[in-house]
Amino acid sequence: MQDILANGLSLLPNFAWPWAWLALPLPLLMLLWPLREENGAALRVPYEPARLQLQASSRTAAVLQMLLLWLAWLCLCAAVARPQHLGEPIEPPRQARQMMLAVDLSGSMSEPDMQLGGQVVDRLTAAKAVLADFLERREGDRIGLLVFGQRAYALTPLTADRATVRDQLRDSVVGLAGRETALGDAIALSVKRLREQPQGQRVVIVLTDGVNTAGVLEPLKAAELAKAEGVRVYTIAFGGSGGMSLFGVQLPGADDQVDEATLTKVASETGGRFFRARDTEELVKIYAELDRLEPVKDAGPAVRPRIERYPWPLGLALILGVLALAWRGLRS
């Protein structure tokens, strides 16, 4: 019952200028105005019944005309009072991040040492699945995708269209940018893409499983550039133990292929953090932690726009006024 009553009240209009209703009794002042007697020609009816019938008809027509004029005045006052309805709630845009995702596509990312859904997959396939889930949660962010191997390439610019970023990531393959690892160039290119974005929102997340072996810029030099531009860099070393193999035999010391020391220095220099993921489960936890470290702020209170409804009573007032004038013409 309360819901029905609330819905009924919500249908009632609000008036922006309710003081306009004070003009409603103004026509009553016309009754105080002295009437001038008309001395024009009159129709003389010799028979009393016909005269009474004519007076009754004239009185009825006058009452109908007065009713039309009063209704027109009522609608005109309603239009001046500006009736309004509240539209559907609109949420303001969320305060989000400007984020570049840098993904390693070097040859070692094809190593099949990860588990995904109970199946053995390569590192890139596992990374794609985790990143796709991460993108789903970043509603409101503007995200760009950069891949790197021997060189660094920006596949998508910063965009709020996360589906496009996800599609580009899905179509990326190992070796697309070369078989080596240009880690420093990837960080520098990400910083360049974020240079024009608002301060405090510039974030780079680098996923790699190797050591900087290509490119023209060292990772630590790129970290200095990121710090100067106010870009936080989060580095993720991804790769399982025994990540390199030869003829199906795992080689010892494979974990040393990831330069954890350099990745740690890059992150600490820029105000970010370094993470180590040896399997898919750990990678999922890392991106969940990144959600906590770089949260998408909730939207502010919803706003309900005011929709003007004054054209309706104004149009009705014009129609009633025209009818009243037409009725007077017919009487004449």
Q: Please give the domain boundaries of the chain with CATH numbers for all domains.
A: 13-22+47-87+307-332 (no CATH), 98-293 (3.40.50.410)
- Whether the per-residue pLDDT at 33 is higher than 70: the answer is no
Distances (CA, A) of 227 to 104, 199, 274: 22, 12, 15
Question: Which among 150, 174, 161, 169 is positioned nearest to 101, based on CA atoms?
Answer: 169
Question: Which is it for strands 83-86 and 14-15: parallel, antiparallel or unpaired?
Answer: antiparallel
- DSSP SS3 for 42: coil
- Give the per-residue pLDDT at 127: 93
- Give the per-residue pLDDT at 8: 47
Count CB-CB contacts under 10 A for residue 319. Answer: 14
Q: Which amino acid is at 112?
A: P
61 compared with 41, residue with greater pLDDT: 61
- Give the per-residue pLDDT at 105: 93
- Give the per-residue pLDDT at 7: 52
Q: Which amino acid is at 279?
A: D
Burial of 255 (0-12, 13-18, 19+ CB in 10 A): middle
CA 219 – CA 182 distance, rounded (Å): 9
Whole-model pTM: value is: 0.61
23 compared with 269, residue with greater pLDDT: 269
Binned at pLDDT 50, 70 and 90, residue 285 comes out as very high
> For 153-162, what is each residue's pLDDT tens digit?
999 999 989 9
DSSP 149: S
45 compared with 227, residue with greater pLDDT: 227
**Mean per-residue pLDDT of the chain:** 80
Considering the chain, what percentage of its residues have pLDDT values greater than 70? 76
- Give the per-residue pLDDT at 104: 93
- Give the per-residue pLDDT at 24: 84
| Cβ atoms 182, 148 nearer than 8 A | yes
CA 278 – CA 326 distance, rounded (Å): 88
